[in-house]
Amino acid sequence: MDNTSQILERSAELFAGKRLLLVNPPADGLTGELPADWHVWTWDYSVQQGLSSRLDQQHLSFSHLCPQVDGLDAAILVMPKAIERAEYALAQMAPLLKSGCPLYLVGEKKGGVTRAEKLLAPYGSAIEKLDSARHCQLWRSIAHDQIAAFQLADWQRSIRLEFPDQAVDLISLPGVFSHGRLDEGSQLLLEEMAPLPSGKVLDFGCGAGVLATVLARRNPGARFELVDIDALALYCATQTLSQNEVQAQVYPSNGLSDVHGRFAAVVSNPPFHTGIRHDTSIAEQFFNEVTRNLLPGGELRIVANGFLKYPPLIEAHIGKCRVLRENNRFKVYSAVAPG
């Protein structure tokens, strides 16, 4: 089990037999090992897939919004990577708790849980650290009454992006890449005006949907499908498309797990860079698998940090890799599958 689940299990007496909301857990066996009436909210499709054999639909929710579970005894947030995602989740969890019920925060010390006091302060009092083990901490606060109801509109941001040929209204939520601005890599990819082939085009790791929105308008013969692992990204992409009057299909996928059929093109600012400079294993797996989703003559067009050694991997799996654009940080690559 994950370290965060182990520290929760060490305090099993706080949770056993209770009606609990568990938010952003890893896909491990905690809900099976610790007997309670678990209601899980995840925005990570891989966790949804991992837990769906243990929890039915009433107890497992994959969404950008927290399920409205009543009669809760307590709620637990597993600290997300992005602090603003923690704030977004807590703002939805706290109003579900009656005054006096505990709200817990658990997470790795290096993952920001040390900010627990600040994060929990708006929603409760008597904030205390209950345990510290396995590089993790478990914090508790006791819910106040009269916590303001959650309003999605307070968290949603809309920005207008101006391109030489069009303006796009981009909708985003906390922790959705790249919240409230256009990423420099995505911008470089969109500076490339070479047309995309007509037919189905996949926007892999769509985030708030900026690539598909701009490219769909430029390429009227393209029918876009957008996938992402993050429920908040999928919601934002759907909103961005509709704000900009672009028709496309949006659905969750972990990598290419739920992508079926072959595409005339796949475009992406892919998520493979973990910060470990030389780790290209996730990228390689993607270049290998995407060949199954490209039509003969289909194009893969991606942007990546220039230092990442993608061209030999792209050539090994797809075909000759051309640099369409570059600046001092990013490169836009294009490769065409054998015809």
Ligand X SMILES: C[S@@+](CC[C@H](N)C(=O)[O-])C[C@H]1O[C@@H](n2cnc3c(N)ncnc32)[C@H](O)[C@@H]1O
In the complex with ligand X, which residue's Cβ is closer, 127 or 196? 196
- Smallest gap from Cβ 122 to ligand X, in A, equals 27
Compute the distance between CA of residue 81 and CA of residue 88 in angstroms, rounded to an integer.
Answer: 12
In the complex with ligand X, which residue's Cβ is closer, 94 or 211? 211
In the complex with ligand X, which residue's Cβ is closer, 93 or 211? 211
Longest dimension (CA), the chain: 66
The identity of residue 97, as a single letter, is L
Alpha-carbon distances of 288 from 77, 291, 336, rounded to whole Å: 36, 6, 14
In the complex with ligand X, which residue's Cβ is closer, 80 or 255? 255
Binding pattern for the stretch 265-294 against ligand X, x by CB under 6 A and - elsewhere: ----x-x-----------------------
Residue among 37, 32, 33 at smallest CA distance from 71: 37
Task: Give residue 152's Cα distance to chain centre.
Answer: 17
Residue among 40, 37, 82 at smallest CA distance from 63: 40
Per rule CB under 6 A, count of chain residues that contact ligand X = 19
- Smallest gap from Cβ 228 to ligand X, in A, equals 5
- Smallest gap from Cβ 177 to ligand X, in A, equals 4
Decide if residue 240 touches ligand X (CB under 6 A): no
In the complex with ligand X, which residue's Cβ is closer, 164 or 296? 164
Give the dihedral sign, CA 116/121/122/123. Answer: positive
Decide if residue 233 touches ligand X (CB under 6 A): yes
Neighbour tally for 247: CB within 10 Å:
9
| Segment interacting with ligand X, rule: CB under 6 A, options 14-22, 252-260, 307-315, 325-333 | 252-260
- Smallest gap from Cβ 315 to ligand X, in A, equals 22
Compute φ and ψ for 6, nearest 5 degrees.
-65, -40
Alpha helices in 179-300 (DSSP H): 184-191, 210-218, 231-243, 281-290
Decide if residue 48 touches ligand X (CB under 6 A): no
Window 173-232: residues binding ligand X (CB under 6 A) = 177-178, 183, 186, 205-207, 210-211, 227-230
- In the complex, the residues that contact ligand X under the rule CB under 6 A are 177-178, 183, 186, 205-207, 210-211, 227-230, 233, 253-255, 269, 271
